[in-house]
Structure 1
């Protein structure tokens, strides 16, 4: 596994979902404004349905486009609301003294690392534009100095890579376009690779896998925090089996293999959409 593999997954997901969603949005704007878009993929679909006598399916296309766009807007809006609520709670629980101490200790910005007074071990990275690392006092009490350092290096990777935003985009794509199943696969496996890459960052910084491994085991024994409906990168909630296996056998070939059936189905659906799109320009 490597960063190049996860980057390809993210880029392909954005290209596939972006191509489809842009067309849907363009069609919806034309539908609401009464404008005639000559080169719209959905409009070509409708004209094709009329030609072959399946005019009733035209309404199904309208419903699909409208529901997809509304669902996407709802998901994004819900995410923003939960993020705002979470930041408000974090501000209430924030331990100013420890936050300043750990920011100075690890050389990050004054607002990049937040320590909250919370009875459950927490280590997450949140935020779309300016990601922040959040640690709890329970986590600091649970781990020794080297283990805590490893966790912070792990989360620093997520912060630097803007993983909360990328995970959210992948999740949105997979949710609103289920007929392109490779998007769901990209979402699930991107998470796995990024967690392993974050572990590798900690291992590289400390020149040892012992501390990141023991920190992960300790947090697994304590248990996970409650699942939230917002995008964040968490230290001990994702890809645990893969991460442990990778730590134990780092030299093995652990490349994630793309499933052929899912890939072929996705290619067929996406290709058909692209063919209709190209035909619209001829």
Structure 2
């Protein structure tokens, strides 16, 4: 039930963001090239306040559009640069023999798994356009085969769902559209929910909660290093550990989303300001 509800909230967030981006793009085309479109929220708001002799709106609307597009570009460029550096580092520390071995063992495609030479346990899925699972030799040495299988199925879920891409998009929205605080809330909740869903997927494949739980506890004792604060990734043992353990022990436990009233009100009011002033 809560999975379906959150999916609709996720879709609503992307639809809302797309509408705002589209309106800003139409407004920019009108300002820069004089292209007139039949309906544009920002152009109408601008012309309305111009008639009311409120010139500050001219600067406010333009600054809002420039900031939104500029911050999106900054986030994209930053992600590209960090991804390139991370990819080079992974290739440098790659254990090609183990990569081939476990790629074949778990029936993955060539680019979907990389095993790196690292003593600390690492298990995560990263990559916005071409996601891949990253395992460390320290993790493989630490876990039993059944525990490693549970971790692999957990990461396979992130791979199939392309969770790094969703995390990147939500992070970009939360930064570029800070004036709609629900985007940040959806991003934070998404990171929690995908871990619980990945845990459930792994348990459904392995038919056991014990292996997944023991692997999680072992990794907590020797937490691996994250790839960097600007990389979009889904990690096995970094998010909402207590809540995940509860759901591993009691899979039927309902998850309360706890929608924040103030953030919702601020987001709704912001959207109304952008739309109903027409």
* Pairwise same-fold verdict (TM > 0.5): yes
SS at match of 1:125: strand
Number of equivalences: 277
Tell me the secondary structure at the aligned position of residue 76 of structure 1. Answer: helix
Instruction: Report if aligned partners of 1:119, 1:138 keep a CA contact under 8 Å in 2.
Output: yes
Task: Quote the Cα distance in structure 1 between the aligned partners of 2:54 and 2:126.
Answer: 47
Say whether 1:238 aligns with 2:229: no
Q: CA offsets per residue over residues 104-148 of structure 1, 9 Å max, x none?
A: 111111221111112221111112233111101111112121111
Alignment of 1:124-203 (within 5 A): 124-203=124-203
- Distance in 2 of aligned mates of 1:241 and 1:45: 47
Structure 1 position 38, deviation (Å): 5.0
- For residue 276 of structure 2, give the secondary structure of its aligned residue in structure 1: helix
Structure 1 residue runs of 5 or longer lacking an equivalent are none
Secondary structure of the structure 1 residue equivalent to 2:129? coil
Q: CA deviation at 1:76?
A: 0.8
What SS does structure 2 have at the residue aligned with 1:114?
Answer: strand
How many Å separate the matches in 1 of 2:21 and 2:224?
Answer: 35
Shift of 1:37: 4.1
* 1:78 has 2:69 as partner: no
User: How far does residue 15 in structure 1 lie from its aligned partner after superposition?
Assistant: 0.6
Shift in Å, 1:213: 1.1
- What pairs with 1:1-282 in structure 2 (closer than 5 Å)? 2-37=2-37, 39-226=39-226, 227-276=228-277, 279=278
Q: How far apart, CA to CA, are the structure 2 residues paired with 1:186 and 1:193?
A: 10
Instruction: Please report the RMSD computed on the Cα atoms of aligned residues, expressed in angstroms.
Output: 1.8
Q: Are the counterparts in 1 of residues 2 and 255 from structure 2 also a CA contact under 8 Å?
A: no
Q: 1:156 to 1:258 in 2, by over 3 A?
A: same
SS at match of 1:268: helix
Deviation by residue 1:223-255 (Cα, 9 ceiling, x = unmatched): 241443111111111122221221233222223
